[in-house]
């Protein structure tokens, strides 16, 4: 991560687009031009953008699957241990390890662990809660959650220079190009 | 995911669209966001909220007196040891099921019409589960001691719960259901909270919504993880919601009481839950779309589809009744046959026949399109459905218990004023929570509704967008 003098104080350049197709085309072209440190911001999910810009999917499902097994194991172990070791209780001479009866709580804990992992994992991988981010310094960015689409090329990108990148973004048909302060 | 499908694809057919004409990103955002952000509180809201508060007051009174005196103030007594407490528990839990069905199962099936009703249906789920949980908890008499035998934790007496009991399964199922519903609901809210933050005009609202939005900024990477997490949560909620009412039905089916001990109970309970839940969604949706002028977001298509789900699940329930009768006869068990005969001709026969009249008879009017498109009728019908589903639980619980194996122990059950106060009180709690939700939370998913617009559909040039990385 090298930051040359002319880039100091700048997080990147932000281009504003009016349409979903506009941001998809702009992202495609920016990636095609060799930019690697960029991010698109949209008011609703456009799954294609992740494929274009980041080119890889999240590992979250694997983490959730792992935690699902942990939940199942925890549920079963808890019941087995409580019913046979910690508090053996003779009900009409039936066996202590009545595993079919343990299925329901194990099942519920499987789902509980997985769901909490999916939600907390998503938030954690996204870095939330994150009260501050440089993009919020741009006044127009408040429309990013309503109807405008933004593409940010970060100053850390090897190809970034304020003039050339600014001209490049203008050339993509941006409605406006703004400096993003740190 | 579902967002890339045209909403207007059905324009050529007779079907009304899932989104009214002439909408764009801004009009959708404004229609929903202005309700919580607006300074003006509608008069109708104040009246409704006060009614809810009055009910909540009654609930507090009922609970206070109950804790002071004990559960004997309720009408249940041997042989009817379970009555209003479990009837109302099952009724409320069942209502909640429609919310999860709409938000999770219909999401997996990519049903676009679910989007505008999912948020408040899920809120309905959470509030209904909260109301439901009060009943078994308070039926323990001393709820602060209930933790000893409900939750597995190392207490000083070395006691552990009885994991072979369906009642403990119920604790796990319902508490997991409540937790996962809340988590799913909150995750669904995050992007809309960011919208509220960005549109708020006062500093306080901006701070509150800003804090709750956790710093959401809608980046492509975040949306990707968000969509993956949402679909996982939907995939997990689907088996969960089916399991919850199955486990609730085990409370009965695992016992040996004639009228309860039936293998058909789990699917029959789940269908009944969805039936009454859609009834409640309609009870809420019809006045809301009118009062807040959301007819372009909650269209006749939604009302129509919900009516169809009600018809289908209602008929499954009716099939359940006929199977119950068949099993009672086919079992050749004296007690099973007597239970059935007593249900049909005994002192509570009125409740059974009213139930059959509604759920096997009246529900069939929903076959007619004219009926499904009549809002006033649908509103009344939704209330009737909920009455019928309450009666169903009354029939199952009270008529099965009040005349059991030994004639000398037969007795009649009648609820006391405290039973009614407690039940009415939970409706007050539900109304209070729901009115607060309507005033302070965007009640329709703004970002999801935008994906229904044709301009939200994108085309990726060939050669890019290979998403299969590592």
Q: Number of A to B CB contacts under 8 A, please give it.
A: 239
Q: What is the pLDDT at residue A94? A: 87
Question: What would the pLDDT profile of B46-55 be if each residue is shown by its tens digit?
Answer: 999 999 999 9
Residue B10 in this model has a pLDDT that exceeds 60: no
Give B236-269 pLDDT, tens digit per residue: 999 999 999 999 999 999 999 999 998 899 999 9
d(CA A22, CA A43): 14
Query: Do A46 and B225 count as a contact with CB atoms less than 8 A apart?
Result: no
In this prediction, residue B250 carries a pLDDT of: 94
CA B440, CA B321: separation in Å to the nearest integer?
A: 42
Question: What pLDDT does residue B22 have?
Answer: 82
The verdict on a CB contact (< 8 Å) between B227 and A57 is no
* B158 → closest Cβ in A78, A87, A147: A87
Average pLDDT over residues B333-350: 94
Full-model pTM: 0.91
**Measuring CA to CA, how many Å separate B325 from each of A140, B212, B254, B426?**
67, 52, 19, 33
d(CA B306, CA A111) in angstroms, rounded, equals 28
- A8 pLDDT band, cuts 50/70/90, is low
- Greater confidence, A56 or B7? A56
**Token reading at B215:** 């710093």
**Nearest residue in chain B measured CA to CA from A128:** B214
Contact A111 B236 (CB under 8 A): yes
Q: What is the pLDDT, as a whole number, of residue B381?
A: 96
**Do the chains contact at B225 and A47, CB–CB below 8 Å?**
no
Q: Which pLDDT score, from 0 to 100, does residue B434 have?
A: 95
> With bands split at pLDDT 50, 70 and 90, how would you rate the model's confidence at B158?
confident
Q: Which residue in this structure is represented by tokens 């999770």?
A: B104
Interchain CB distance below 8 Å, B195 and A146: yes
Contacts of A83 in chain B (CB under 8 A): 160, 163-164
**B160 closest CB neighbour out of A82, A125, A130:** A82
Mean pLDDT, residues A8-12 taken together: 83
Q: Judging by beta carbons within 10 Å of its beta carbon (0-12, 13-18, 19+), is residue A92 exposed, middle or buried?
A: exposed
pLDDT digits (tens, 9 = 90+) for B197-240: 999 999 999 999 999 999 999 999 999 999 999 999 999 999 99
On average, the pLDDT of chain B sits at 90
Segment B433-453, tens digit of pLDDT: 999 999 999 999 999 999 999
For residues B201-212, b (16+ Cβ closer than 10 Å) or e, as one string? eeeebbebbbeb
Structure tokens at B348: 């509570």
With respect to residue B183, please indicate whether it lies within any of the assigned structural domains.
Answer: yes
A102 interaction partners in chain B (CB closer than 8 Å): 163
Percent of residues, chain A, with pLDDT higher than 90: 86
Helix axes B375-394 and B300-330, enclosed angle (nearest 10): 30
Per the prediction, chain A carries an average pLDDT of 92
pLDDT at B170 over 90: yes
pLDDT score of B463: 53
Q: What percent of chain B has pLDDT over 70?
A: 95
Which chain A residue lies closest to B239 (C-alpha atoms)? A111
pLDDT of B102 strictly over 50: yes
CATH number of the domain within which B33 lies: 1.20.1630.10
Provide the pLDDT for residue A155. Answer: 93
Query: Which CATH code, of 1.10.540, 1.10.1740, 1.10.10, 3.30.70, is assigned to A8-57+135-181?
Result: 3.30.70
Q: Is residue B170 part of a domain?
A: yes
The packing angle between helices B43-69 and B417-440, to 10°, is 140
Tell me the C-alpha to C-alpha distance, in Å, between residue B335 and each of A83, B83, B225, B257, B332: 34, 21, 56, 9, 9
Instruction: Report the C-alpha gap between A36 and A23 in whole angstroms.
Output: 16
Size of chain B, expressed as the number of residues it contains: 470
The number of residues in chain A equals: 182
pLDDT tens-digit series, residues A32-74: 999 999 999 999 999 999 999 999 999 999 999 999 999 999 9
How do the domains of chain A map onto residue ranges? Answer: 8-57+135-181, 60-125
Band (pLDDT 50/70/90 cuts) for residue B468 is very low
**Distance spanning both ends of chain A, measured CA to CA:** 16
For B393-413, how does the pLDDT look when each residue is reduced to its tens digit (9 = 90+)?
999 999 999 998 989 999 999
Confidence bin at B149 (pLDDT 50/70/90): confident
Q: What is the pLDDT of residue B5?
A: 43
Q: Read out DSSP for B165-232?
A: SHHHHHHHHHHHHHHHHHHHHHHHHHHHHHHHHHH--SHHHHHHHHHHTTT---BHHHHHHHHHHHHH
Q: Per-residue pLDDT averaged across B147-175, rounded?
A: 87
Please say whether the beta carbons of B29 and B446 come within 8 A: yes
pLDDT of res. B12: 40
Q: What is the ipTM of this complex?
A: 0.93
Q: Report residue B11's pLDDT band, with 50, 70 and 90 as the boundaries.
A: very low
Predicted local distance difference test score (pLDDT) of residue A48: 92
User: B461 in a domain, yes or no?
Assistant: no
In-domain check, residue B427: yes
What's residue A3's pLDDT? 45
Q: Which domain holds residue B110?
A: 18-404+416-453
- Judged by CB atoms within 8 Å, which residues 24-83 of A form the interface with B? 24-25, 27-28, 31-32, 39-58, 60-61, 64, 75, 78-79, 82-83
Q: Is the pLDDT of residue B69 over 70?
A: yes
Confidence of residue B465 (pLDDT cuts 50, 70, 90): very low
A82–B198 CB contact, under 8 Å: no
Kindly identify which residue of chain B lies nearest to residue A32, measuring between CA atoms: B464
Domain count, chain B: 1
CB contacts of A21 in chain B (<8 Å) are: 455, 458-459
Per-residue pLDDT for A98 more than 50? yes
> What are the φ/ψ torsions at residue A64 (nearest 5 degrees)?
-65, -45
B470: pLDDT confidence band, cut at 50, 70 and 90?
very low
> Looking at CA atoms only, how far is residue B415 from chain A in angstroms?
33
The pLDDT assigned to A5 comes to 42
What's the CA gap between B224 and A48, in Å, rounded? 9
A165: CB partners within 8 A, 6+ apart: A13, A35, A153, A157, A159
> Could you report the per-residue pLDDT of B109-130, keeping only the tens digit for each?
888 888 889 999 999 999 999 9
Helix (H, G, I), strand (E, B) or coil at B439: helix
pLDDT > 90 fraction of chain B, expressed in percent and rounded: 73
**pLDDT greater than 60 at residue B4:** no
Cα separation, B118 vs B101, in Å, equals: 9
Chain A residue with CA closest to B157: the answer is A87
> Reading across the β-sheet that carries A38-41, which strands appear in turn?
A38-41, A149-154, A10-17, A176-181
């Amino acid at each position: 991560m090298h930051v040359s003098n002319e880039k100091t104080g700048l997080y990147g350049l932000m281009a504003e687009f009016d349409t979903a197709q506009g941001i998809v085309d702009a992202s495609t072209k920016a990636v095609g031009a060799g930019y690697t440190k960029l991010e698109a911001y949209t008011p609703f999910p456009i799954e294609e953008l992740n494929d274009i810009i980041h080119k890889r999917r999240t590992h979250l499902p694997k983490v959730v699957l792992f935690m699902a097994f942990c939940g199942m194991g925890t549920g079963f172990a808890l019941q087995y241990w409580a019913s046979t070791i910690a508090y053996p209780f003779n009900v009409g001479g039936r066996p202590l390890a009545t595993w079919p009866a343990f299925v329901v709580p194990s099942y519920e804990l499987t789902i509980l662990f997985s769901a909490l992992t999916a939600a907390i994992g998503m938030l954690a991988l996204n870095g939330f809660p994150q009260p501050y981010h440089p993009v919020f310094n741009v006044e127009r960015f408040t429309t990013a959650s309503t109807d405008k689409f933004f593409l940010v090329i970060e100053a850390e990108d090897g190809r970034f220079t304020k003039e050339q990148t600014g001209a490049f973004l203008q050339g993509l048909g941006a409605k406006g190009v703004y400096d993003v302060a740190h | 995911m579902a967002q890339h499908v045209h909403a207007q694809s059905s324009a050529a057919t007779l079907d009304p669209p899932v989104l009214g004409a002439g909408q764009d990103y801004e009009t959708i955002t404004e229609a929903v966001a202005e309700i919580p952000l607006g300074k003006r509180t509608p008069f109708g809201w104040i009246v409704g909220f006060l009614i809810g508060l009055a009910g909540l007051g009654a609930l507090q009174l009922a609970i206070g007196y109950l804790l002071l005196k004990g559960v004997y103030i309720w009408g249940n007594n041997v042989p009817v040891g379970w009555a209003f407490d479990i009837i109302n528990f099952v009724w409320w839990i069942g209502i909640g099921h429609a919310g999860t069905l709409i938000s999770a199962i219909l999401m997996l099936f990519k049903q676009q019409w679910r989007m505008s009703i999912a948020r408040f249906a899920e809120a309905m789920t959470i509030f209904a589960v909260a109301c439901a949980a009060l009943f078994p908890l308070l039926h323990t008499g001393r709820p602060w001691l209930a933790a000893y035998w409900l939750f597995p934790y190392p207490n000083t007496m070395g006691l552990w719960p009885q994991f072979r009991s369906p009642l403990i399964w119920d604790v796990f199922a319902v508490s997991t259901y409540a937790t996962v519903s809340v988590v799913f609901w909150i995750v669904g809210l995050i992007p809309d909270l960011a919208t509220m933050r960005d549109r708020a005009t006062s500093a306080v609202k901006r701070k509150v919504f800003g804090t709750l939005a956790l710093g959401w900024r809608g980046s492509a990477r975040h949306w990707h993880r968000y969509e993956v997490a949402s679909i996982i949560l939907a995939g997990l909620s689907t088996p969960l919601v089916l399991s919850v009412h199955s486990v609730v039905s085990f409370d009965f089916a695992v016992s040996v009481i004639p009228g309860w001990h039936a293998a058909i109970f789990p699917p029959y309970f789940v269908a009944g839950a969805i039936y009454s839940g859609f009834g409640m969604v309609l009870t809420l949706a019809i006045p809301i779309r009118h009062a807040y002028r959301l007819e372009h977001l909650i269209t006749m298509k939604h009302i129509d589809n919900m009516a169809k789900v009600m018809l289908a699940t209602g008929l499954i329930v009716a099939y359940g009744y006929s199977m119950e009768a068949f099993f009672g006869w086919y079992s050749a068990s004296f007690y099973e046959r007597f239970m059935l005969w007593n249900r049909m001709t005994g002192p509570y026969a009125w409740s059974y026949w009213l139930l059959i009249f509604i759920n096997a008879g009246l529900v069939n009017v929903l076959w007619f399109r004219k009926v499904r498109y009549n809002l006033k009728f649908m509103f009344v019908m939704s209330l009737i459905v909920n009455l019928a589903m309450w009666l169903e639980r009354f029939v199952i619980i009270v008529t099965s218990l009040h005349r059991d194996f030994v004639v000398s122990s037969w007795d009649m059950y009648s609820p006391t004023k405290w039973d009614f106060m407690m039940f009415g009180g939970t409706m007050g709690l539900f109304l209070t929570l729901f009115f607060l939700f309507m005033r302070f939370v965007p009640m329709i998913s703004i970002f999801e509704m935008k994906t229904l617009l044709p301009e939200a559909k994108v085309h990726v040039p060939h050669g890019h967008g290979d998403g299969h990385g590592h």
